[in-house]
Amino acid sequence: MMAVSVERVLEGWARAWSSHDLEQLLALFTDDCTYEDVTFGVINRGKAQLRAFAEGVFAGVPDFTVEITSRVVAGDRAAMEWLMSGTHRGDFPGMPATGKRFAGLRGVTVLELEGGKIRRNSDYWDAATAMRQVGLLPAA
């Protein structure tokens, strides 16, 4: 896969998450995709589970945004560092809603691509800082 095509996929990924555009997000993935949120220990298989996961994120953080800060592309694999922000309005595993804002949370996504689409997506992000920012853990 050409690096330019992968760059478009990465930019589309961030744009879809930040605009809450489920159809745009799902279009980036293969039908048999795997989307893993390593931090929460959640594995979504296929587009139906990915849709449900994204709907949960958007419901829990209605102003969710993600901004890519760096990226690496190597053949059919890519990784990107990003910052996420939003307001914690819904419950997540171990994180009851607080109504408080979090910002600048660092994370990394590792992607495996196939035929110009994402086959596997693994997200790793800083839950401890998120929990501190929304008041679920004491300040460091």
| Residues 18-34 pLDDT 10s | 999 999 999 999 999 99
Domain presence at residue 140: no
Provide the 10 A C-beta neighbour count for residue 125: 19
What value does the mean pLDDT of the chain take?
A: 95
**Domain interval for residue 121:** 3-133
Q: What is the pLDDT of residue 18?
A: 98
Q: Is a pLDDT exceeding 70 seen at residue 3?
A: no
| Residues 112-134 pLDDT 10s | 999 999 999 999 999 999 999 99
Q: How many domains does the chain have?
A: 1
Domain presence at residue 90: yes
Domain presence at residue 10: yes
Provide the 10 A C-beta neighbour count for residue 34: 18
Q: What is the pLDDT of residue 92?
A: 85
Which carries the bigger pLDDT value, residue 6 or residue 1?
A: 6
Residues 95, 89: contact at Cβ < 8 Å?
A: no
Domain presence at residue 62: yes
Domain presence at residue 37: yes
Domain presence at residue 32: yes
Domain presence at residue 88: yes
Whichever domain contains 72, its CATH number is 3.10.450.50
The side-by-side arrangement of strands in the sheet containing 117-125 is: 42-45, 29-37, 117-125, 101-114, 77-87, 65-74
Q: What is the mean pLDDT of residues 68-73?
A: 97
